[in-house]
A and B are shown apart, each in its own frame.
Chain A
Amino acid sequence: MTASAFLSQLLQLGVALLLAPLLAGWVSQCRAWLQNKSAPSLLLPYRTIHKLFIKDAVVAHNASPIFRVAPYIVFGAMCCAAAIVPSLSTGLPFAQAADTIALVGLFALARVFIALAAMDIGTAFGSLGARREMFVGFLAEPALLMVLFTASLISGSTSLPTIVDSLAHRDLAIYPSLAFAGVAFTMVSLAENARIPVDNPATHLELTMIHEAMILEYSARHLALIEWASALKLFNYSCIGIAIFVPFGIAAGSDDWAAILGAAPALAAKLAIGGFVLALIETLSAKMRIFRAPEFLGTAFLLAVLAMLVHLLLGT
């Protein structure tokens, strides 16, 4: 591994870690604007995380070690995921260790541990949230895999940097299969990031929450890590979306530092647009009943399968 590749890897990991709360802040700001509310500060997520880190943690008496380690595992899994999703350049030496299937596995690992931790304390809300989370997760995961497989079929590799390389640096061609995959990916991301048609990130209303119900028992640094991890998850999903559907501007390799730094404004613009679209979707749609979620995610899965079929039929 050359020093430059190592630097590029570190830079992208750092960008993901630092920008993730900003993206979360941007989405909630857009949402407030669209709903005619006075918007919270863009830096609010940073302040929340900072505030939580300096507080004293309270842990329930009957908490097992799983409850204590889960935030670190979740955060670690999200960091690993951030390390293999190309955001600025495809020079990611770490990505050789894990392809897109491992990426889905990392998300699953985080999900399993947060669900275990939620059930650990034994409160009603925790296990309710955990059950719902697994229910949504087991439907969303195959759909995500199918979307990634479609991109892999087009580029002939399951490694995200290779996919970006072959999709971004080619002659301009229209891929109808990616249109299907794009719709499916949007639906999966909404569900996986606890966004409105499936879950509401802003609610503390007992009967409707999924993600919030699981983390009710956490406080201080544990909660800070989990909040940061969910911001990172949103950032990772956005970067996966960018990498597959609008990869233009991502630098190739890790030697051309002008291109890598030049990719930063493009990334910022794409994330800003993506965040706004997310806020728009959240504002325009109503939250579904939990038992409509299988229909929603089933549709996502079928669209992703259709994307593969269309690719096989049209050869594009």
Chain B
Amino acid sequence: MAAGIPFYAQLINLFAAVLLLISFAMLAQRRVLSLIDLFAAQGLALALSTAVVGWGTGQSHLYWSAGVTLTLKVFLLPFLLYRLIRRLDVKWDVEPLINIPTTMLVGIVLVVFAFNLAAPISNLSSTVTRSTLGIAIASVMLSFLMMITRRKAIPQVIGFLAMENGLFFAATSATYGMPMVVELGIALDVLVGMLILGVFFFQIREQFDSLDLKHLEQLREDE
């Protein structure tokens, strides 16, 4: 059963499970600061799994990709988020729109859905780690769910970044990575997106005195 697949594939399966575990932890987390720590931990798991894929398949460019992931998602982005939170002075508890146990239940349903969705796709693939595709899709969906259920701007951005983690994991685990140019492009996109959203936070708060996104849902005609 488990002994039939090589050791590196088992390691990747383990990291995939850790990734999913962290996605769930983020879904259940109430505090913004812990959310950032979890995001950093997820980045670390992602970087490690990318490195392991590189080691197992002998593709050296994946080491570069793991390095970029490590610097960007474990150090730079959490650092930026921390600074943003300090500057905005928002250490409040996250207020989910629906309560956390319900969110977790919806999460489980999403996981079952994702696993079923991925089953026929991963049958087409020939890589050893194809079964982790289901986990990657599940963590993308869980991040989606997190973006939907959170009311404030910062958790939504973290959800967005976590979603990118899931996509990246899908790319490395199911297809052994994308060309380096694409990966660099995505990394840069995420970084720039983060910076722009940081500016947006200040704009939103200046306009509405709050980072609660429900203010953005109504058109105002009181000019």
Query: B132 contacts the other chain (Cβ, under 8 Å)?
Result: yes
> In the complex, which of the residues A176, A302, A316 contacts B104, with contact meaning CB atoms closer than 8 Å?
A302
Interface of A is mostly: helix
> B131 interface residue, CB < 8 Å from A?
yes
Cross-chain contact B101 with A309 (CB below 8 angstroms): no
Q: Name the contact of B17 in the complex, choosing from A171, A179, A294 (C-beta under 8 A).
A: A179
Are the C-beta atoms of B108 and A177 separated by less than 8 Å? no
Nearest residue, chain B, Cβ from A175: B2
Among residues of A, the one whose C-beta sits closest to the C-beta of B129 is A314
Q: Which one, B13, B28, B134, contacts A174 given CB within 8 A?
A: B13
Q: Which of A174, A180, A298, A315 has the most CB of B within 10 A?
A: A174
Q: How far is the CA of A173 from the CA of B10 in the complex (A)?
A: 7
Is the pair B24, A179 in contact by a Cβ cutoff of 8 Å? no
How distant is B130 from chain A, measured CB to nearest CB, in Å? 10
Q: Please measure, in the bound complex, the distance between the C-alpha atom of A183 and the C-alpha atom of B105, giving whole angstroms.
A: 18
Known: A179-B17, A302-B107, A309-B115. A315 touches B24 (CB 8 A): no
B contact residues, total (Cβ < 8 Å): 28
B76 within 8 A of A: no
B70 at interface, CB cutoff 8 A: no
Task: List A contacts of B1 (CB < 8 A).
Answer: 173, 315-316
Give the shortest distance, in Å, between A85 (CB) and chain B (any CB). 25
A151 contacts the other chain (Cβ, under 8 Å)? Answer: no
Give Cα distance in the complex from A316 to B28, angstroms. Answer: 26
**Which residues does chain A contribute within 8 Å of B194, judged by CB atoms?**
none
Establish whether residues A313 and B108, one from each chain, have CB atoms under 8 Å apart when the complex forms.
no
Cβ contact within 8 Å between B21 and A173: no
Residues of A within 8 A of B115 (CB): 309, 312-313
Closest Cβ neighbor of B119 among chain A residues: A313
A173 to B115, CA, bound (A): 22
B112 surroundings in chain A (CB, below 8 A) = 309
Across-interface contacts of B17 in A (CB, < 8 A): 176-177, 179-180, 310, 314
Q: Which of A177, A179, A294, A305 contacts B101 (CB 8 A)?
A: A294
The residues of B that contact A303 with a CB separation of less than 8 Å are 21, 24
Is A170's beta carbon under 8 Å from chain B? yes
B116 nearest CB neighbor, chain A only = A313
Q: Which residues of A contact B (CB under 8 A)?
A: 170-171, 173-177, 179-180, 183, 294-295, 298-299, 302-303, 305-306, 309-310, 312-316
Q: What are 17 A-B pairs at a CB distance below 8 A?
A: A170-B3, A171-B2, A173-B3, A175-B2, A176-B14, A176-B17, A179-B18, A179-B21, A180-B17, A295-B101, A298-B101, A299-B28, A302-B104, A309-B111, A313-B131, A315-B2, A316-B1
